[in-house]
Chains A and B, each alone.
Chain A
Amino acid sequence: MDIKLRNIRYSRGAKITAVIIVWLGFLAAMGSSLFLWENRGIAGVSNYARDSTFQNDFATMVHDTVEYHVVLKSEANIKNASTDAKTTANNLQRLHQIEKVLPTMVNFVYYVRNTQTGENWTNLDEQRLSKLGSETVDPVRFIQEQPTTVFLGTSTIEASVPFSQIASSTEDMPAGSPYEVYAAVVGSLHPGDMFYNDFVNFMGTKTSIEFATMVLIIAFVLAAAAFIFLIYVTGRRDPEEEDMPGRVKGMYTDVHTLLVFIAAVISLCIAPGTSTDVPKILTIVALAVVLSLDVFIGLSYVLSMVRQFRAGQLFTNTLLYKLGSSLTAFLRLAFQGKVFKGWMLLLLFGYGIINGLIFILLVAFNSHSVWPEFLFILLVFLAFNAGVAYFSARSLAALAQIMVAVKEISAGNLDYTLSSNDIPASFAAFAEDIRSLQGGLQKAVAQAVKGERMKTDLITNVSHDLKTPLTSIINYVDLLKREELNNETAAGYVEILEEKSFRLKQLIEDLVEASKASSGNLAMTGEKVNLHELMMQACGEYQEKMQQAQLDLHMPTAGEAVVVWADGKYMWRIAENLLSNVIKYSLPHSRVYIDISSENGYGSFTIKNISAFPLNISPEQLTERFVRGDESRSTEGSGLGLSISQSLTGLQGGKFQLEIDGDLFKVTVAIPLWEE
C-alpha cells in the first residue's frame, strides 16, 4: 500500500477508490464465501426434505418409535426380557426418555402394527387426523400421503426420501419380526417441535444464502474490475507529468516475494487458531483484520510486480540477480587479472589447497593418535602459515609505504623518494609506476615554473629593448628643451614630451617589477623589520610631498615595537607604492591615518585615506594590473602599484587587504611576526 501510494502519479482519487473497492469487495466476498461454506449443507439441497438435519431428526424419530414399540414395549416386558440389572436400568431409562419425547413431536406421525397379533400403535387418532386436515381416517393412508414417509416391513424398507440412516435405525428391529412400521413428517408443519424449528431455520438460511451468493458475485465482479483497473494503470506514467527517473523504486522482487510468502503463512496460522471460547463477533473482527492486511499486502505485492514487469526489471531487480551479477563481474575481473593478477589468484588457490591438505593430514593423524607424525605435521602447518603471514605482512608494509608516498606526492611533496629496497617483487611494478607518475609531475611542475620564468624573462628582455630607445628620447627631449625655441607652443610640446617619456620610464620599470613579483621570481632576504620604524622612515621620505598635496598625516606615537620577519627593501617598496597612491589619489585637505598593530601572529600596518574620486570599483579589481581608481587615467601612475604591493606582501608570507567604504580607502598589510 505504502509503495503503491507513493508511486501514484495520475488520477490519484481513482486509484485510491479502486484500492478501497478491492479491499471491501474482497472482504465481502470472503465473508459471504465463509457463510456459504458454513451452510454448504443447506445450500446444496433444494428443499427441506433433503436437508441432512431434517433427515437425521427423522431417522432418530423413526428409530425411537421402533425401539419403543417393537423392542422395549413396556416396563414389564423389559423386566421379563432382562438378563442383568444394568441392561434393565438402561432400557428402562430409554423407555421413559422416548415416552417423554414422542408426544412432543407434533409433526411426526407413525403407525406400528403387529401383523401376527393385529395389535397396532399410533399417535394418529381421528381427532388428530382431522386437526391435521386429513381427508381420510385411515392413519396408514395418511402417512403414505405425506411427502416424507417411510415404511419398514418385515423384510422391506420403502422411503420417499433417500436416507441411509433409516437402515441403521432398523437394526434394532428383530430380524423377521412380524412388525410393520409406517412413519412420516406431515407436509404442512405446525409449530411446536424440532422439525418445525429446523424448517424455519432452514428457510431463513436459504434466503440468506441467496443474498450471500448475490453479494459474493457482485463483490467479486467489483473487486476483480477494480483489480484489473489497478493492474492496468500501475506503472504507467502520466505523459503530461515530468519524466520520472527510469528505474522503478521498490524492494528486490525476490525479497518481496519471500516477505509476502511469510506474511501469508503467518495469517494462515492465525486463521484456524480461533477457538470456540472466543465470542464469534471477535473471531469475525480478527478474521477481517487479518484478511484486510492480507489484501493490502497481496495487492501491493501484485502491483509492485506489475510495476517491475512494466519497467522490464522483474527479474533484474532481484537480490539474487544483483548478487549474481556482482559475483559474475567480480569473477570476470578476477579472471581478467583486474582484481588479482593471475599468479596471485594461483597463489591464493595454492595456499588454500596446501593448507587444506595439511589440515586434513592433521585431523587424520590426530584421530588415529599417531603422535610423532601429528607433531611433525603440526610444525609444518605452523611454519607454512607463519611463512605466508610473513610474506603477506611484507607485502602490506610495502603497500603502506607506497600509500605514504602517494599521499606525500599528492600533498605536493614531489621530491619524496620511494625507496625501492623494501618493496617485494609483487609491488615492484606498482612502485615503479608511482615513481614514473611522480617523475611526470615533477616534469610538469618544472615546466610550469620554467614557463613562468620565461614569461618574466621575456618581459625583462622586452623592457631592455624598450629602455635603449627611451634613453635617446629622454636625452634628446632634454637637449631640445635647452635649445632656444622661439616658439612657445613648441616649448609646450617639449614639456609634454618630457613628462610622457618619464611616465613611460616609470611604466617599464613597474612592469618588470610587477612581473617578477607576481611570478615569485624574487629572492627574499628575511630580517627583523620594525614596522613603526619603517613607517616613520617612509613618512619622512614623503613628508614634503604630503605637505604639497595638502594632506594631514596621523601616525601613532611609539607603542610596543611590532617586529616582523620581512625583507626591508620589499617593505619599503610596499610602503612607497601605498604612500604615493595616497598622495596621488587623496582628497586635498583630508587626513591620512596610519595604524600599526599585531595580532594572531601577524604584525600589520594600515593606511586610511579619503579618495578624491568616487571609488565605484571592487577591491579585487583594484589590485589587478593596470587598473586604477580613476577610470579616465588622468593622473600619473602605472596602475601597477597595488598589484606590486600585493605580490610583494604575498612573497613575504603576508596578507594584503583592501577595503573600500564609500570614499574611505583602507589598506592593511599584515606580515608574519618575527620569532626568536
Chain B
Amino acid sequence: MERFNVLVCDDDTAIVDALEIYLKQENYGVVKVYTGVQALQALTEHEIHLILLDIMMPEMDGLSATIRIREERNIPIIVISAKSEDTDKIAGLNFGADDYVTKPFNPLELMARVKSQMRRYTALGSIAHKSGILKSGGLELEREGKEVRVDGEIIRLTPTEYGIVVFLMENMGHVFSIAQIYEQVWSEPSYSAENTVAVHIRRIREKIEINPGEPKYLKVVWGIGYKIEKY
C-alpha cells in the first residue's frame, strides 16, 4: 500500500511532535516544518498528500500559505488554529482550506478528519458516478443497495434513520420541521411532540459526523428544523 505523507506545520514544536506520533500510528509519513515559508519549501521537496497548518506562525502565517499553496496545488489542507471565531473559520475555508479545527483539539477527532480528507483526495475521485446515487460532499446515498456512505465508508443505520436520511437527501438544502419529517417518514400525521425525531437525528449525526456537535452534513437549524447541507 502506498504510504501517504502529511505535512505538519506549527510553530509549537510540542504540538508538531505529538501530531507526528498520532499520524505515524495511522501509518502516515510525516514532514515537520515550523513556519509558512518552510511549508512552501517542503512542498517542493517532498511528495505531500495532506497539510495540517497552523494560522498564527512567524514568517508567513497559515492563511497566506494556504493562498500560495492553492495557487498551484489541490491537496487537502486542514487548518489547526487557536482562533475559534466564526469569522476566522469562514476566512480559513474561503481562502481554500478544506477543514478547520480549533485548538485545543481532540487528537482522535483530528485523525478522523485527516483520514476523511485523505480518502476523498486519494480514493473517491476514482469512484465512477453511478446513477441513483445522491451525493453531498463525502456523504453518499445509494438507494438501490440502501447504503449510506461517508467518505466511502458504509454507515450502519436503522430503518427509521435511513428513512430520515433519504427524505432529507432527496430534498437537499431544504429545512424541514420535526412534524414534517415525522409525517413523511412515519407516514402518519403528527399529533403531538414527536421527540423521537430529534433523538433519531441526534443518533444519525453521531454516526455520520466526525464531530456531532459541529455537524458538517446533517445540520440543525435551531427553532426551525433540520436539513442536509448541499455540497
Bound Cα distance from A598 to B18, whole angstroms? 53
Please provide the chain B residues from 188 to 231 with a CB less than 8 Å away from any CB of chain A in the complex: 190-195, 197-199, 201-202, 220-226
Please provide the chain A residues from 546 to 583 with a CB less than 8 Å away from any CB of chain B in the complex: 555-558, 564, 566, 568-569, 571-572
Instruction: Answer whether residue B19 sits at the interface, using C-beta atoms and an 8 A cutoff.
Output: yes
B193 surroundings in chain A (CB, below 8 A): 532, 536, 555-558
B83 surroundings in chain A (CB, below 8 A): 464
Contact A528 B104 (CB under 8 A): no
Task: Tell me the minimal C-beta distance from B14 to chain A in angstroms.
Answer: 4
A544 surroundings in chain B (CB, below 8 A): 199, 202
Task: Tell me the minimal C-beta distance from A544 to chain B in angstroms.
Answer: 8
Bound Cα distance from A317 to B105, whole angstroms? 84
Task: Tell me the minimal C-beta distance from A549 to chain B in angstroms.
Answer: 16
Contact A533 B104 (CB under 8 A): no
Bound Cα distance from A527 to B223, whole angstroms? 9
Task: Tell me the minimal C-beta distance from B64 to chain A in angstroms.
Answer: 18
Instruction: Answer whether residue A531 sits at the interface, using C-beta atoms and an 8 A cutoff.
Output: yes
Instruction: Answer whether residue A205 sits at the interface, using C-beta atoms and an 8 A cutoff.
Output: no
Residue-wise, chain A 380-394 has the 8 Å CB interface mask toward B (1 for contact) of 000000000000000
From B82, B192, B222, residue with most partner A Cβ within 10 Å: B222
Contact B15 A533 (CB under 8 A): no
Contacts A472-B18, A558-B179 given; indicate if A531 touches B105 (C-beta within 8 A): no
Contact B195 A555 (CB under 8 A): yes
A537 surroundings in chain B (CB, below 8 A): 178, 198, 220, 222-223, 226
Contact A512 B107 (CB under 8 A): no
Please provide the chain A residues from 341 to 381 with a CB less than 8 Å away from any CB of chain B in the complex: none
Contact B82 A475 (CB under 8 A): no
Please provide the chain A residues from 500 to 550 with a CB less than 8 Å away from any CB of chain B in the complex: 501, 505, 509, 512, 527-534, 536-537, 539-541, 543-544
A472 surroundings in chain B (CB, below 8 A): 12, 14-15, 18
Task: Tell me the minimal C-beta distance from B138 to chain A in angstroms.
Answer: 23
Contacts A472-B14, A571-B223 given; indicate if A540 touches B202 (C-beta within 8 A): yes
Nearest B residue (CB) for A464 = B82
Bound Cα distance from A537 to B108, whole angstroms? 27
> What's the interface size class on B, roughly?
35 or more
Contact B105 A540 (CB under 8 A): no
Task: Tell me the minimal C-beta distance from B123 to chain A in angstroms.
Answer: 28
Partner of B222, one of A460, A473, A509, A534: A534
Bound Cα distance from A585 to B113, whole angstroms? 34
Nearest A residue (CB) for B192 = A557
Instruction: Answer whether residue B160 sits at the interface, using C-beta atoms and an 8 A cutoff.
Output: no
Task: Tell me the minimal C-beta distance from B79 to chain A in angstroms.
Answer: 14
Task: Tell me the minimal C-beta distance from A455 to chain B in angstroms.
Answer: 16
A509 surroundings in chain B (CB, below 8 A): 84
Instruction: Answer whether residue A476 sits at the interface, using C-beta atoms and an 8 A cutoff.
Output: yes
Task: Tell me the minimal C-beta distance from B95 to chain A in angstroms.
Answer: 19
Task: Tell me the minimal C-beta distance from A345 to chain B in angstroms.
Answer: 62
Instruction: Answer whether residue B131 sits at the interface, using C-beta atoms and an 8 A cutoff.
Output: no
Task: Tell me the minimal C-beta distance from A640 to chain B in angstroms.
Answer: 16
Contact A467 B103 (CB under 8 A): yes
Bound Cα distance from A199 to B114, whole angstroms? 149
Contact A529 B82 (CB under 8 A): no
Instruction: Answer whether residue A175 sits at the interface, using C-beta atoms and an 8 A cutoff.
Output: no
Instruction: Answer whether residue B90 sits at the interface, using C-beta atoms and an 8 A cutoff.
Output: no
A569 surroundings in chain B (CB, below 8 A): 222
A46 surroundings in chain B (CB, below 8 A): none
Contact B222 A571 (CB under 8 A): yes
Task: Tell me the minimal C-beta distance from A1 to chain B in angstroms.
Answer: 79
Contact B195 A536 (CB under 8 A): yes
**Mind listing 29 A-B residue pairs with CB under 8 Å?**
A464-B56, A468-B12, A468-B82, A469-B12, A471-B82, A471-B103, A475-B15, A475-B22, A476-B14, A509-B84, A512-B84, A527-B223, A529-B224, A531-B223, A533-B225, A534-B222, A536-B194, A537-B223, A540-B195, A540-B199, A543-B195, A544-B202, A555-B193, A557-B191, A557-B193, A564-B223, A568-B223, A572-B220, A572-B222
Binding site for B on A (CB under 8 A): 460, 463-465, 467-476, 478-479, 501, 505, 509, 512, 527-534, 536-537, 539-541, 543-544, 555-558, 564, 566, 568-569, 571-572
10 smallest beta-carbon distances between A and B, as pairs: A540-B198, A529-B223, A568-B222, A475-B18, A534-B223, A467-B82, A557-B192, A572-B222, A471-B104, A472-B14
Beyond the given A536-B194, A544-B199, A569-B222, please list 10 additional residue pairs across the A-B interface where CB-CB is below 8 A: A464-B82, A468-B12, A468-B82, A472-B12, A476-B14, A529-B223, A536-B195, A536-B198, A539-B198, A540-B198
